[in-house]
Each structure stands twice: as structure tokens, then as C-alpha cells.
Chain A
Amino acid sequence: MIPFIGELSLILAFIFAIVQGTLPLAGVWKNKTTLMNLAVPTARIQSLLILISFAVLMYSFYANDFSVLYVASTSNSQLPTMYRLAAVWGGHEGSMLLWVAILSIWTIAVTMFANNLPNTFKIRLIAVMGLVSVGFLAFILFTSNPFDRLIPAALDGRDLNPLLQDPGMVFHPPVLYMGYVGFSVAFAFAIAALLDGRLDNAWARWTRPWTTVAWMFLTLGIAFGSKWAYYELGWGGWWFWDAVENASFMPWLVGTALIHSLAVTEKRGAFKVWTVLLSICAFSLSLLGTFLVRSGVLTSVHAFATDPSRGLFILLYLVIVIGGALLLFALRAPNVGLGEKFDVVSRESFLLANNVVLAVAAGSVLLGTMYPLLIDALGGGKISVGPPYFDAVFVAIMAPGLFLMGLGPLAKWKKASIPEIGTRLKLAAVISVVSALLVPSVLGKISLMVTVGVFIGVWIVSTTLILLQNRIKTKQIAGSSLIDNFKAIPLAFYGMLLAHLGIGVFVLGVTLVKGYESEQDLRMEVNDVAKIGDLSFTFQGAQKIQGPNYTSSQGRFIVSEDGKQIALLYPEKRFYPVQGATMTEADIEPGVFKDLYVSLGEPLEKGAWSVRIYIKPFVQWIWAGCIIMALGGLLALLDKRYRIANKNMAAKTEEAF
């Protein structure tokens, strides 16, 4: 009975979404207020219905209702509660429902916080989001209904893939989808603006906070996924350039470009066509990612549910949504004006140069991801494009962009002078060159990759700090204290600083772990000691333990440095009987300067095990960098200029009077 409620609310949501996506648009067109006024209530009801349906599915998982086919195929009564709830998005049907549930959250947010917009604009915005929702709901209802029943009910479920039984599964997909789907708001803004014929500074200002929130979530979501892969897959990899990872990375690159071009459009009313195209592309790439994952056209670890009919359905949806948007773009863009003038050398130009680099980088990732398909479709056979390709091409494209990142923020708006920027950055240049030469020789192995990486990382960090110092100096008011100066700077500026610092930290992390990680494959008997540099790892044997839904051999390692114990590690080899799967659970002692990473291989004779020990220097900096970037986004969001919530309050007070 209860699953039926879920299905029913999904059907009702579909109907409401159709109304939300059509009648208000007609209302704006015919200037009928009654139709226009439908937008907000239908959007809210539609969203609530989806959330109810999501809650019902969650309950079915919680209550082990194996009369629901999807529950029976992705969960098991022995599965711990936390993972039973996360199993809601552990398979195809549920992840699609998560997609629309998150779209509902964004829709509700738009109806609540987007009150500073002109009425027709807001109505168009909400209607476009309704149309996005219609397609996805149709997809779920017609091809991937999570409430399909299993009669008679299964005695028990087939269990969640053990790879997914991890706290990472609880956080990574919802946060990632918040980012992915969040770009639908920027997309809807772009479409509404094109329909409205009002592409201007105000449009850019309205879009900015929404884009920043989505970008923030996407940054965190990708970072969580990477961290999860790092500890879960058992060989310490944190990024594999897998099709699905690329699918989330491309919207991130384009979204990052969008944030920067929105700045130019807001300031100068310039490059509006480009900015609106980026808004469309960011969401289109999110949708394309969904297609790539769900249709199985590319082999991928994540393509656990593949089906050509589903693929065709999503493809049709892509053609309508993206094709329609690009057609509208082609019709409206030629009439858009140029905006204010600025010099070829200016802050604006740097921001746009960054856009070219980011867009080309996203294009390269897209090219590499799709290329095997392209060659296969042209009858050229099967090829693989993997990490060696992406590492080489992506780094070559991004390196000049990252260098420019140090210069850009110091350039003046409208007209800048390169010699002036040069004088200001002398110190940063010296620090970066010295570090680039010094760090590799101190750490013991010199390579071009490390030298360039350290240079860029330190360059970004030092230029960012100089920028802060400069800003404080120029804003100094006679007699004011240093703290007042800090306070006088808008939060958005600090947000930018943090985000850039995050990139610097990230680049340093990537460079140092790639350059100096070490790996040992050892055969260890009980009480054997492995010495790696100053560290010694003592293996104290492995014992059998019983988990809630698995059995495990748990090893015990004492790690000491210069004779002092610094860590106890318990790597495991788990066996999950329901799926008959063996999982390697590495154990990690994380640290600011290095991670100690131990994973168990196979049991050998006489209690000995094959053991892999990795030392991963500075690897935590990779995720720390991402978190700093996201914090930067948060600060920018809190800036007075974008206090949407406050404006909303103001509007409410006005209403009250």
C-alpha cells in the first residue's frame, strides 16, 4: 500500500509539472495573470509530491519492503540502516528519483528566494524548471519506475553492491547531484532571459549566487567522490579520468568559467552571449553526464544499469532540452548588444582568457571521453583513452591558465598595465622560482613535473596573498586600524581569495603526491617489520572478525617513527556473502604531510599476508584544496550584494505594510 502512495505522488507530480511548465508560459505570452499566478503554487506542489515519493521510497528501504522490486534488488535485511537508506540511490531507478528530488529542492528554493526578480522573469524561470522536471519524471515513470512491485515479494534482497557500502555513499551522491542539478537554475535563468529578451547586467547579478551555490556543491561532491575512491578502492588512486568522473568534472570546469564570465557581464554588460552559452552548456554537460552513465554507451564502473531503451529516452530528452535551448540561443543571441567598452589589457580580458582556458579544458575532457565512441561509430575499431592521455593534455592546457590566475586579480578593471602588474608581482615570482628549485632538491627527486607544479602552486598562493596585502593598502583610510581595513573589504573578495588559495593548495597536493608517493608490495609474516625510510610497519597478524553483513580478516599494524609508535592500522579483507564479493578495506593514517596507507592483499601460507604499503605525501592537500575552494564560494555567497534571503525578507516586510 505504502509504495503505491509513492507511485501516485510521482504521477501527480508529473501532471503538476506539466501545468507548471506550460500554462504560466502561456500566461506570460497572452498576458493572463490567472495563468501566470499558477507558477509558484504548482511548482511547490510538484516539488512536495516528488519529495513525498522520495520519502516513501526511503521508508520502503527502511522497512525492508521486498515487495518493491527496486528494494529487493538493491538492499538486504542484513544491511545496516544507514546503508539501507543510502541504497535508495544505490541503483538506477533510485538515483533518477534522487535527481528529481534534488531538482524539487532547487525549485522550492527558487520560489522562495528569487523574489528580487521581475514577475514575468520569475514565472518564466519557474516554468522552465517545470519543463526540465517533466522530462525527468516521464523518464522515471515510463522506463525506470522505482515503485514497480514484485509479486510475490522476495524473502530477502540481493543486497547493495559492497563497493557502495560506505559512508561515502551517504554523502557523495546527494552533494554531487546538488551541484549537477543546481546548474539547472542557471540554465533556467538563461532560457528565461532569452525568452524575455533581457540579457543584461541585472540578469548576470541574479544568476551569480545560484551558480555559486551549485558550483560549491559540485566542488564538494567531486572532492567527496575522489576521497572515497582513495580509501575504498584499496590502491590509493584518487582520480581515474573514468567516464563518470569526467561527466561530473566537465560541468565543474564550465561552471567555473561561468562564475568568472558572469563577473564580466555583471560589471560591464559585456560578453552576454558567451555567458548565456556557458549557462546552457554547464547544465547540458550535467545532462550529458547523466546520459553517459545511464545509457551505458561508454564502459564505466558506474554503469550498473544499462539499457538501450532508457538510453534512447534520455537522448530524446537531451535533444529537446539542449537542442531547444541552443535553437533559442541561435534565434535570440544575434540581437544582443556589446555592452560597455574595456581595454584589451584589463581585468575583464584576464577573466575571459581564463574562460577560454577552462572551456578548452572542458572541451578536451569531452573529446577524450567521447573519442572511443566516435572512432567506434566511424568503424575505426575499439580504442581506449585513459589517464596517460588526460594527464598529458589536461595539464598542458591548464598550466598557462593557472599561471594567468596569478596575474588576473591584480589587473585593474577596464584598463590595466602589464608593467604595473609585473612590479607588484616581483616578490611572488622570486618566491615561486626559489620554491620550485628548492622543494624538489630537498625532497630528493628532481623532475620537470614537480618543478613546474611547485612553481604554479606557490605562484598561486603567493600572488593571492600579495593581492590581499595590496587591497588592504589601497583601501587604507587615514587613521583606521588594520582590522577596520580587513572589515572594509567585501566578503566576495575574500571568497575569491580563498577559492584561488584552494586551487594553489590543490595543485601542490597533486604535484607532491604524484612526484613522491611510494609503494611497496611485501610478503609479511606475523611480527615482520617493513622499514620505509624512518618508518617501520610491524605486522601483528590477522584475525577473523564478524561484521553485520560480512566476515573479515583484519590485520593489525603498528607504525613507528624513530622507535616511537605513531599509528595503529587495521586494514581488512572483507567477504560479503550475499553478493559473493571480496572487498579490500585499506586503513589510512592521514597526516598534513603524508598519509600512511596499508592494504591487505591475499593470505599466504603460515599466517603470512601479501601487504601493500603506500606513503602518500601531501595527498590530503588535494581535498583540503577543494574544501577551501568551496568555502570561498560560501563567503562570496554571504556578500551583501547577493543576500537574496534578506531581499526576500525586505519584500515580505513591504507586503506586510
Chain B
Amino acid sequence: MKKLMILIFLLTQIFTVAYAGQAKPLADDPALEARLKAMSQELRCLVCQNSTLADSDAPLAADLRNEIRTQMRAGKSDQEIIDYLVARYGDFVLYRPPVNSNTVLLWFGPFLLLLVGGFVLYRALKKQAGGQDIQAEDE
């Protein structure tokens, strides 16, 4: 009888410990989940179109995340998985557009603009600067 009491006591102990337990990560494999998160934050959800695959609640987004998980478990590299998605949905899924002939202007345009702007400003300032007689002015 006493043994049984102890057993019950132990069981309830175990039970309460499990009850007020540590929160468990939602995923079995947090490392894989972190990798998924990093990748899916740069991918566009096709259904709601204005959120990332990571943040979207759409069922297709969940399916695609699962597909990525499966492929990650199968040992595919990030690039292989991205290639897989691009082959099906096109460059549209990439929030970071790849550098290619279509996007040269996109990626380098701003810096070209900065160079041109700097050059134009320099020319204009040269024109505005006159002679030696300019004195500094306080407020």
C-alpha cells in the first residue's frame, strides 16, 4: 500500500512537473526552422503577394514552407531549393532579384545616379564659386 502511495505521489509529481513545464519550441528542429525562416523571409508569397513566405498565413505558403522543410531534411542546399522554387514560379518569388541582364539597371542604377549627381553638383558648385573675395559668414 505504502509503495502504491509513493508511486502515486511520484506520478503526480511527474505530472505536475510536466504540467507547469517549459514551453517547447513549436518545431522539432529549431536549427532547421531558423534556416527556413532566413530563407523564407526573402521569398514572396504568391497568394497574398505582399507578404513574405515566412509571414504569410495562406495555406499555399504553409505548403511551400513544408516543401522547403522536406527538401532541407533531404540535404538540399539553399541554392538548390531556391532554384526549385524559381523553376516553378519564376523570379517573381524572389524578393531579392538576381543580378542579370534584366536587373542591371535596378542594382547599379542608384549608384550610377549618385555618381552623376555628385558630378553635376561639383560642376554647379565650381560655377557658383567665384574668386578669392568670399568671406566666411557667421549665423
Contact B23 A386 (CB under 8 A): no
Contact A363 B113 (CB under 8 A): yes
A31-67 at interface with B (beta carbon < 8 Å): none
Contact A528 B23 (CB under 8 A): yes
* CB-CB under 8 A for A383 and B126, given A356-B121, A414-B135: no
Q: Mark B58-77, 1 if CB is under 8 A from A, else 0.
A: 00000000000000000000
**A388 / chain B contacts, CB cutoff of 8 Å:** 42, 95-96
Which residue of B has the minimal Cβ distance to A371? B106
For the complex, what is the distance from the CA of A386 to the CA of B103, rounded to whole Å? 13
Contact A385 B23 (CB under 8 A): no
**A355 / chain B contacts, CB cutoff of 8 Å:** 121
**A299 / chain B contacts, CB cutoff of 8 Å:** 49-50
Interface residues of A, dominant DSSP: mixed
For the complex, what is the distance from the CA of A405 to the CA of B92, rounded to whole Å? 37
Chain A interface residue count: which class?
35 or more
**A111 / chain B contacts, CB cutoff of 8 Å:** none
**A474 / chain B contacts, CB cutoff of 8 Å:** 138
**B130 / chain A contacts, CB cutoff of 8 Å:** 341
For the complex, what is the distance from the CA of A300 to the CA of B48, rounded to whole Å? 9
B49-108 at interface with A (beta carbon < 8 Å): 49-52, 55, 90-97, 102-103, 105-107
Kindly state whether residue A81 has any CB partner on chain B within 8 Å. Answer: no
Contact A523 B110 (CB under 8 A): no
Q: Which of A353, A382, A475 contacts B92 (CB 8 A)?
A: A382
**A357 / chain B contacts, CB cutoff of 8 Å:** 114, 117
Which residue of A has the minimal Cβ distance to B120? A356
Kindly state whether residue B4 has any CB partner on chain A within 8 Å. Answer: no
**B106 / chain A contacts, CB cutoff of 8 Å:** 367-368, 371, 385, 389
* CB-CB under 8 A for A383 and B50, given A413-B136, A611-B23: no
Contact A527 B96 (CB under 8 A): no
For the complex, what is the distance from the CA of A353 to the CA of B48, rounded to whole Å? 40
Kindly state whether residue A260 has any CB partner on chain B within 8 Å. Answer: no
Count: A-B pairs, CB below 8 Å: 171
Which residue of B has the minimal Cβ distance to A352? B121
For the complex, what is the distance from the CA of A523 to the CA of B105, rounded to whole Å? 46
**B114 / chain A contacts, CB cutoff of 8 Å:** 356-357, 360, 397
Contact B95 A412 (CB under 8 A): no
- How near does chain B come to A375, taking the closest CB pair, in angstroms? 6
Contact B96 A522 (CB under 8 A): no
Contact A338 B118 (CB under 8 A): no
**A520 / chain B contacts, CB cutoff of 8 Å:** 25
Contact A360 B113 (CB under 8 A): yes
Report the stretch among A155-163, A342-350, A426-434, A585-593 that lies at the interface: A342-350
**A338 / chain B contacts, CB cutoff of 8 Å:** 127-128
Contact A270 B23 (CB under 8 A): no
* CB-CB under 8 A for A385 and B91, given A301-B50, A341-B129, A522-B26: no
Which residue of B has the minimal Cβ distance to A381? B90
* CB-CB under 8 A for A356 and B23, given A341-B128, A342-B129, A375-B102: no
**A524 / chain B contacts, CB cutoff of 8 Å:** 23
Contact B118 A367 (CB under 8 A): no
- How near does chain A come to B40, taking the closest CB pair, in angstroms? 12
Q: Mark A518-541, 1 if CB is under 8 A from B, else 0.
A: 011111110111110000010100
Interface centre among B23, B48, B139 (most CB of A within 10 A): B23
- How near does chain A come to B36, taking the closest CB pair, in angstroms? 11
Which residue of A has the minimal Cβ distance to B137? A413
Kindly state whether residue A213 has any CB partner on chain B within 8 Å. Answer: no
Kindly state whether residue B3 has any CB partner on chain A within 8 Å. Answer: no
Contact B136 A416 (CB under 8 A): yes
- How near does chain A come to B24, taking the closest CB pair, in angstroms? 5
Interface centre among A299, A356, A381 (most CB of B within 10 A): A356
Kindly state whether residue A393 has any CB partner on chain B within 8 Å. Answer: yes
Kindly state whether residue B1 has any CB partner on chain A within 8 Å. Answer: no
**B22 / chain A contacts, CB cutoff of 8 Å:** 528-531
Contact A382 B90 (CB under 8 A): yes
Q: Mark B16-38, 1 if CB is under 8 A from A, else 0.
A: 00011111111100000100010
Contact A384 B135 (CB under 8 A): no
* CB-CB under 8 A for A385 and B97, given A343-B129, A397-B110: yes
Kindly state whether residue A359 has any CB partner on chain B within 8 Å. Answer: yes
Contact B134 A384 (CB under 8 A): no
- How near does chain B come to A5, taking the closest CB pair, in angstroms? 39
Contact A389 B96 (CB under 8 A): yes
- How near does chain B come to A268, taking the closest CB pair, in angstroms? 8
* CB-CB under 8 A for A387 and B50, given A414-B135, A414-B136, A523-B25: no
Q: Which of B27, B33, B113 contacts A364 (CB 8 A)?
A: B113
* CB-CB under 8 A for A414 and B134, given A360-B117, A386-B42, A528-B22: yes
Which residue of B has the minimal Cβ distance to A493? B139
**B128 / chain A contacts, CB cutoff of 8 Å:** 270-271, 338-339, 341-342, 348
**B51 / chain A contacts, CB cutoff of 8 Å:** 240, 301
Contact A353 B121 (CB under 8 A): yes
Q: Which of B52, B103, B113, B129 contacts A383 (CB 8 A)?
A: B103
**A424 / chain B contacts, CB cutoff of 8 Å:** none
**B139 / chain A contacts, CB cutoff of 8 Å:** 413, 471, 475, 493
Q: Which of B20, B92, B107, B126 contacts A527 (CB 8 A)?
A: B20
**B24 / chain A contacts, CB cutoff of 8 Å:** 522-523, 528
Contact A383 B102 (CB under 8 A): yes
A252-308 at interface with B (beta carbon < 8 Å): 270-271, 299-301
For the complex, what is the distance from the CA of A359 to the CA of B114, rounded to whole Å? 9
Kindly state whether residue A422 has any CB partner on chain B within 8 Å. Answer: no
Contact A341 B131 (CB under 8 A): yes
For the complex, what is the distance from the CA of A414 to the CA of B117, rounded to whole Å? 21
For the complex, what is the distance from the CA of A351 to the CA of B92, rounded to whole Å? 39
Contact A342 B134 (CB under 8 A): yes
Kindly state whether residue A380 has any CB partner on chain B within 8 Å. Answer: yes
Which residue of B has the minimal Cβ distance to A490? B139
For the complex, what is the distance from the CA of A271 to the CA of B123, rounded to whole Å? 13
Kindly state whether residue B6 has any CB partner on chain A within 8 Å. Answer: no
**A539 / chain B contacts, CB cutoff of 8 Å:** 23
Kindly state whether residue A610 has any CB partner on chain B within 8 Å. Answer: yes
Q: Mark A384-410, 1 if CB is under 8 A from B, else 0.
A: 111111000100110000000000000
For the complex, what is the distance from the CA of A381 to the CA of B111, rounded to whole Å? 25
Q: Name 7 interchain pairs, CB-CB below 8 A, sorted by A.
A: A301-B50, A338-B127, A341-B134, A375-B102, A384-B97, A393-B107, A529-B22
* Extra pairs beyond A301-B50, A415-B137, A529-B22 (18, CB < 8 Å): A237-B55, A271-B124, A299-B49, A301-B48, A341-B128, A344-B125, A352-B121, A355-B121, A364-B113, A382-B92, A383-B102, A384-B92, A412-B138, A414-B134, A475-B139, A521-B26, A530-B22, A610-B26
- 4 tightest CB-CB pairs across the interface, nearest first? A386-B95, A388-B96, A364-B110, A530-B23
